[in-house]
């Protein structure tokens, strides 16, 4: 009995120490840092960061003085030096955000925003030399802020973002769990066993009876309560209303397009009982969201009934969403584009759009499902071949591309705007289908998984593209109401 106890104790300690020992050997063999020691390195990171900030702030101020002097002389190398100074500002911003290896500073933090404001002034300075005083004032304030070592800044970093915060410790634990080399080595073996023996697709996927794979976040979105309340800091309704106001200041209208997730259109594939629930607002949070925006006076396109009705014309192998992917098929994208175009045609802006004769031809694309890829099950599900309508400019035969100069419409979107548009087969996504329906050029800014906040931050950094625009179409998938990267922050465009 004692021998058996000793044996099981030995096995227990071997299993306990194996992942750490494996990771240590992997780190030594590959000359990489030993991840479990990151927490000790991050104790000193804020101290090192202080000296880096001091140096880069000095460089920023010196560079500002240089470009101002070049502008006064009308020197031909001004444009080159402005780009170099913008790179210095970018480095300073990265240094500000990289407070440690696990929890970067938020891009909306006042320290980061001050550098972003400097970059905006710098971007305008080359064509408006009168901004010299403003440029120097911004750089001077930044230099003064980081002119001396600040123990207060170090303490705040530790407390809010570092080793003294629960957020840091959770991120540290999560990375150790997911990035351990032993886990990476054994995970595919376990996932293969789980799928072949138990038919379990893993934590990121949900298998349907029809061999559809659903993204688990899409399913979670349907079955969990609303992620916001009236007083929530990350209230998507408040974010939409604020963005509408920001655009109205510039004379630009907003049209919101919420894309239903695959489970919202095909709930019966998960459970046949759910078929009769579609269309009820107590079933669909996304539908309630669209209805709320409409009552608040926001222009919207309600794709829920559009896609539900289109589903009645499904044929085998020709559905609205890909079998093992989160995204819609080209047919689903084309139907959505038509619905969006029909709404835009009812708006005043439709009378002001420049004309561009567009045509299309049928092409094929081969898709490997992103859900299957996330679950490491590509081998278990065949690639799917789909037909799409590739849009071209009739006069030249060139594929349709974003035209920021001529377009009156700017589209903000996520991967639903990217699929078929900027990946295979190109110029065949809903954006091109919409442009063809309207016979007008369009422009787009896309951020995969980041249409809630990140795509608006991209726009804020390039707010000049709103010049001469009359309409912004903001597309995002419904699950972003709960899981959108960076939440639903209010973003200033000026």
pLDDT at 233 over 50: no
Q: State mean pLDDT over 158-170.
A: 79
pLDDT at 99 over 60: yes
> What pLDDT digit, counting tens, does each position of 311-330 carry?
999 887 789 999 999 999 99
pLDDT at 229 over 90: no
pLDDT at 24 over 50: yes
pLDDT at 353 over 90: yes
pLDDT at 224 over 80: no
**How far apart are the C-alpha atoms of 457 and 106, rounded to whole Å?**
12
Tokens 């489970």 correspond to what residue? 263
Q: Which residues of 456-484 are buried (b: 16+ CB within 10 A; e: fewer)?
A: bbbbbbeeebbeebbbbbbbbbbbbbbbb
Q: Which pLDDT does position 283 carry in this prediction? A: 66
> What pLDDT digit, counting tens, does each position of 412-438 carry?
999 999 999 999 999 999 999 999 999
In percent, the amount of the chain with pLDDT more than 70 equals: 88
Q: Which pLDDT does position 282 carry in this prediction? A: 56
What's the whole-number average pLDDT of the chain? 85
Which range of 1-10, 100-109, 434-443 scores highest in mean pLDDT? It is: 434-443
């Amino acid at each position: 009995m004692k021998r058996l106890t000793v044996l099981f104790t030995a096995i227990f300690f071997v299993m306990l120490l194996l992942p750490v020992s494996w990771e240590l050997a992997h780190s030594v063999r590959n000359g990489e840092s030993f991840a479990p020691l990151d927490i000790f390195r991050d104790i000193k990171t804020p101290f090192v960061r202080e000296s880096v900030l001091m140096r880069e702030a000095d460089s920023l101020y010196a560079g500002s003085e240089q470009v101002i002097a070049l502008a006064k002389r009308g020197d031909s190398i001004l444009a080159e030096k402005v780009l170099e100074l913008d790179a210095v500002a970018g480095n300073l911003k990265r240094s500000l955000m990289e407070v440690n290896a696990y929890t970067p500073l938020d891009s909306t933090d006042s320290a980061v925003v001050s550098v972003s404001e400097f970059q905006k002034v710098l971007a305008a300075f080359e064509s408006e030399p009168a901004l010299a005083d403003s440029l120097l004032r911004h750089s001077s304030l930044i230099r003064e802020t980081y002119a001396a070592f600040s123990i207060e800044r170090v303490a705040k970093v530790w407390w809010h973002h570092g080793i003294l915060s629960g957020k840091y410790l959770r991120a540290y634990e999560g990375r150790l769990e997911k990035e351990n080399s032993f886990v990476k080595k054994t995970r595919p073996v376990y996932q293969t066993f789980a799928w072949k023996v138990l038919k379990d697709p893993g934590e990121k996927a949900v298998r349907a009876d029809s061999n559809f794979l659903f993204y688990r976040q899409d399913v979670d979105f349907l079955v969990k309560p609303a992620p916001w309340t009236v007083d929530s800091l990350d209230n998507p309704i408040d974010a939409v209303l604020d963005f509408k106001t920001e655009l109205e200041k510039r004379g630009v209208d907003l049209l919101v397009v919420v894309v239903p997730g695959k489970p919202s259109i095909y709930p019966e594939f998960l459970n046949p009982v759910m078929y009769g629930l579609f269309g009820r607002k107590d079933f669909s949070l996304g539908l309630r969201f669209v209805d709320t925006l409409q009552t608040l006076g926001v222009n919207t396109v309600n794709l829920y009934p559009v896609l539900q009705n289109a589903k009645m014309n499904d044929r085998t192998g020709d559905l609205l969403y890909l079998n093992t992917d989160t995204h819609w098929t080209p047919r689903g994208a084309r139907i959505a584009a038509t619905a969006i175009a029909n709404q835009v045609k009812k708006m005043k802006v439709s009378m002001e759009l420049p004309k561009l004769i567009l045509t299309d031809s049928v092409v094929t694309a081969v898709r490997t499902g992103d859900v299957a890829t996330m679950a490491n099950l590509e081998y278990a599900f065949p690639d799917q071949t789909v037909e799409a309508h590739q849009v071209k400019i009739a006069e030249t035969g060139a594929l349709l591309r974003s035209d920021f100069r001529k377009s009156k419409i700017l589209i903000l979107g996520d991967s639903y705007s990217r699929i078929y548009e900027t990946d295979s087969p190109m110029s065949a996504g809903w954006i091109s289908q919409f442009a063809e329906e309207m016979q007008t050029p369009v422009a787009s800014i896309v951020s995969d998984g980041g249409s809630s906040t990140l795509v608006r931050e991209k726009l804020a950094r390039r707010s000049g593209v709103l010049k001469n625009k009359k309409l912004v179409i903001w597309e995002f998938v419904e699950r972003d109401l709960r899981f959108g990267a960076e939440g639903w922050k209010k973003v200033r465009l000026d």
